[in-house]
Amino acid sequence: MISAILFTISHNLFFAVATAISSCLVVRAIYNLFYSPLSVIPGPWYAAVSDLWITYHVLRLEQCKTIQALFEQYGPVVRIGPNKVVFRDISTMRSVYSIHKFDKSGYYKSLLTNENDHAMTTLGHAEHSMRRKAYAPHYTPANLARFQTEMQEATLELVNTLEGIKGKSPLECLSTFRHFMVDLVVMNSYGYHLGALRRWATGAEDLLCNAISDFPKRGILRSAVSTWAWDMVCRIPNRRWRMMCNSDKIMAEFVSQRVYDMRAQVNSGRLAESERPPMLQRLLQHKYASTNQLMPDLDIISECMGHLIAGSDTTSTSLSYFFWEVSRRSDVMKRLRAEIDEVMQDAKVIPDISVLQSLPYLNAFIKEGLRLYGAAPSLLERVVPASTTKNGSVSEAFDLLGFALPAGTIVSTQAWSMHRDDSIFPSPDTFLPERWLESNTSPEELALMSQHMMPFGTGTRVCGGQNLAQIVMRMVVAAVVRNFDIVAPSETNERTMEMKDSFVIFPASMECKLAFIPRN
C-alpha cells in the first residue's frame, strides 16, 4: 500500500516537473519568435527558437557556407540564434570591430591554451591591448626583416626536401607545409631549431605537429558540448582520439620546456642582448603596464602556444590550396613563373623581401589566394555592450542597419561572406588574380575590394602575425614555382578539396596530395 502511494506520488511529481519544463520551453520559444527585440530580424524561424540548428551545422563543418546561404536568401542581416545576429556590411564591420571595439563572446574560451588565456581568448578589449603590447613589436615588418636569412634557409630546406622526392609520388601538402611552418615559427619565436620537416621526410611521427593540427578540432568540439560531455568523450579508448583530446597538453609540454630553458639563460646572464631577439625573449622581459610586473610563466606559455597554433596550421592550409590552384591553372602558373624567373635567376637564391613585395602578379596571386582560401574565414563573434550615458542611465540599443540590438546580443561577420560579395568581387567563386592588378581594375574598385578583405580578421583584434604569414607565403610561392612543376593526381579534385570549416578551413578529404616535379 505504501509503495503504491509512493509510486503514485513520484509518478505525479515527475509528470509535473516534465510539464513545467515543457511549458517553460514553449513560453521561451514563443518569446524568442514573437516578443524578443530580435524577432524583427529576418532569418529561419527555427534558428530563433534554439541554438541547436546552428550548432548542428557547426558540427557538420559547414557553418561558413550555411551563413553565406542565409545572406543570399535574407539579405545583409540575419538572425541565426535566439541571441545571435550575423551581418555582411562594411560600415557595420568597422563599427563593431574598429570603432566601438566590442568585446569577444565566450566562444573563444574553447581555444584556451594550457587552460589559460592568451591574446586570442582574452575577451575584453582593454585586457587584450595589454597582452598585445608584449608581442606586437616582434611582428613589425622592420623587425621581421632581421629574420630574413633564417626564413630563406627554411624555405630552401623545403625546396631541397621536395627535390629529394623528385615528384615520384604525390605528397600530402597539409602535413608537408605544417612541418615546414612549425620549424619556421619555432625558430622565429624561440630561436630554436626543431627539425620537424627533416624528421617528416624520414617518415617519423611528430607529436607536436599532430597536436597543432588537432587543436582546432578539439576547440570546436569543446565549444559545442558541455564540460561533462567533453570529459566523457575524452575517455574513449582510442589512441588517435586521445591524442586529439590531449593536443593542448602535448603542446604545453613542448612550449614549457622552451620557456624554462630560456628563463634559465636569462637568470644566469648567459643570454646576451641581441638586435633580433626571438619573441620568447621579448615576453620574458616584458612587464604588464597595469602592475609593472614581469609576465608570469603561465601567461608566457599560453601566449606562445597561441602563436604556434595560429601561425602553423593556418598558413600551411592556405599554401596547400594556393598550389592546388596552380596545378589546375596553367595560365596562372605561366604568368606567375615568368615574373618570378626575372628576379630569381638562381633557383637556390631567394630574393630579398622587398623585391618579392614589389612583384605585381605575385602579390595579386597572394591576395586572391587569401580571399578564397584564407585559413580562418569563420564568424568573429562580439557582444553588444551595456554602455551608459553621462548620468549613468543605460544607453539605447546598438543600431545594426536599422535594427535595434539590446546589450548582450552576439553579433558577427565572417571573411567567407565578405570575400564573396558579388557586388564587390564579380565572379566571387573564381580564382582571378588579375582582379587585383592596377592595369585591370580602377583605383576606386581596388580600394573597395581591399576594404572588404579580412583574411586575418579586422579591427584592433587583427592577427598579430599577419606580416610574418605574408612574408612566408611570398617566399614559398616564389621558391616552389621557380623550382617545380606542380601536378594534381586524380584523387585530388573538386570533391576532395571542398572546404570544410571548424573555425579554420581544411579539405573534405583531410588531405591535399600534389606532385612537385623538378623543372628541367
Residue ranges at the known binding site:
463
Dmax over CA atoms of the chain, in Å, equals 98
Residue list, annotated binding site for heme: 463
SS (H, E, C) 263-288: HHHHHHCCCCCCCCCCHHHHHHHCEC
Q: How far apart are CA 46 and CA 51, in angstroms?
A: 9
Would you tell me the crossing angle of helices 148-165 and 173-190 to the nearest 10 degrees? 150
Place of cell 542581416: 77
* Other beta carbons less than 10 A from residue 345's beta carbon: 9
Query: Quick check: 370 and 425 in contact, CB under 8 A?
Result: no
Q: Which amino acid is at 243?
A: M
Residue 87 main-chain phi, psi, to 5 deg: -140, 160
Q: How far apart are CA 475 and CA 222, in angstroms?
A: 36
* Other beta carbons less than 10 A from residue 283's beta carbon: 25
Residues 6+ apart with CB under 8 A from 176: 158, 161, 162, 197, 200, 316
For strands 171-172 and 84-87, give the pairing: unpaired
Place of cell 586521445: 242
